[in-house]
Structure 1
Amino acid sequence: MRNTTKITAAVLATGALTLGLTACGSDKGDTKAKASDPLVVAATPVPHAEILKYVKDHLAKKAGLNLEVKEFTDYVTPNTATEDGSVDANYFQTQPYLEDFNEKKGTHLKSVATVHLEPLGLYSEKAKKTAELKKGATIALPNDADNESRALRFLAASGVITLKKGSESDATPQDVAKNPKNVQFKEVEAAQTPRSLQDVDAAVINGNYAIGAGLKPAKDALALESTENNAYNNVLAVTEGNEDDPRVKKLAKLLTSPEVKKFIEDKYAGSVLPSF
Structure 2
Amino acid sequence: MKRRKQTKWWWLLALVIVVVIGAGLNWVAKGGSQSKQTITVGSLGADVKVWQHIANSSAAKQAGLKIKVKSFTDPVQLNRGTADGEVDVNAFQSWAYLQNFNKDSKQKLVALGTTYLEPMGIYSKKYKSVKDLPEGATIAIANNPANTARGLKLLQSAGLITLKKSFTATSGTNKIASNPHHFTFKEIDDTTGPRVIDSVDAVLIGNTIALEGHLNVLKDSIYHEKVDQSTKDNVNVLATAKKNANKAAYKKLVKLYHSKDTQDYIAKQFKGTKVEVNKPISYLEK
Q: Same fold (TM over 0.5)?
A: yes
- Residue equivalent to 1:69: 69
Alignment root-mean-square deviation, CA: 1.7
Any gaps of 5 or more consecutive residues in structure 2? 1-28, 279-286
Task: Tell me which amino acid in the other structure corresponds to 1:146.
Answer: A
TM-score with structure 1 length normalisation? 0.84
Highest CA radius of gyration, 1 or 2? 2
Distance in 2, matches of 1:125 and 1:228, equals: 28
1:254 and 2:256 equivalent? yes
Q: Could you tell me which residue of structure 2 aligns to residue 195 of structure 1? A: 195
Q: Is the 8 A contact 1:264 1:273 kept in 2?
A: no
**How many Å separate the matches in 2 of 1:42 and 1:88?**
8
**Given that residues 100 and 170 in structure 2 are in contact (C-alpha distance below 8 angstroms), is that contact kept between their aligned partners in structure 1?**
no
Q: Cα deviations across residues 166-186 of structure 1 (Å, max 9, x unaligned)?
A: 224443212222222211100
Q: For residue 114 of structure 1, report the CA deviation from its aligned partner.
A: 0.3
The 5 Å alignment of 1:173-192 reads: 173-192=173-192
Aligned length, in residue pairs? 244
For normalisation by structure 2, the TM-score amounts to: 0.81
Do 1:43 and 1:92's aligned partners in 2 also have CA atoms closer than 8 Å? yes
Cα deviation 1:42-64 (Å, max 9, x = unaligned): 10121x21211121122322322
Q: Could you give the per-residue CA deviations for residues 82-108 of structure 1, whole angstroms, max 9, x where no partner exists?
A: 111111110110111111101101122
Task: Name the CA distance, whole Å, in 2 between partners of 1:176 and 1:87.
Answer: 38
The amino acid of 2:199's aligned partner reads: D
Deviations 1:170-220 (A, max 9, x none): 432122222222111000111112211121111000110001110011100
Q: SS where residue 268 of structure 2 aligns? A: helix
Alignment correspondent of 2:162: 162
Match of residue 141 from structure 2:
141
Give the structure 2 partner of residue 17 of structure 1.
none
Residues 1-276 of structure 1: pairs in structure 2 closer than 5 A: 36-46=36-46, 48-58=47-57, 59-229=59-229, 230-231=231-232, 232-276=234-278
SS at match of 2:245: coil
Equivalents in 2 of 1:216, 1:204: separation in Å?
13
CA contact (8 A) 2:96 2:169 kept: no
SS of 1:103 mapped into structure 2? helix
Cα 1:33/1:179, change in 2 over 3 Å: farther
2 CA distance for matches of 1:180 and 1:126?
Answer: 20
Check the 8 A contact 1:193/1:204 in 2, yes or no: yes
| CA separation of 1:127 and 1:68: change in aligned 2, threshold 3 A | same
CA distance in 2, matches of 1:233, 1:257: 18
What is the alpha-carbon distance in structure 2 between the residues aligned to residue 176 and residue 243 of structure 1?
Answer: 37
Q: What is the identity, as a one-letter code, of the residue corresponding to 1:53?
A: Q
| Secondary structure class of the residue paired with 1:38 | strand
8 A Cα contact 2:113 2:254, kept in partner: yes
Bigger mean CA deviation after superposition, 238-247 or 81-90: 238-247
Flag as ranges the 4+ runs of structure 1 deviating above 4 A. 32-35
CA distance in 1, matches of 2:51, 2:237: 12
Q: 1:156 to 1:264 in 2, by over 3 A?
A: same
Read off the aligned partner of 2:129 and give its amino acid letter: K
Q: Secondary structure at the match of 2:36?
A: coil
Instruction: Identify which range, 162-171 or 82-91, moves more after superposition.
Output: 162-171
Q: Deviation at 1:33?
A: 10
Please report how far the alpha carbon of residue 135 of structure 1 lies from its aligned counterpart in structure 2 after TM superposition.
1.3
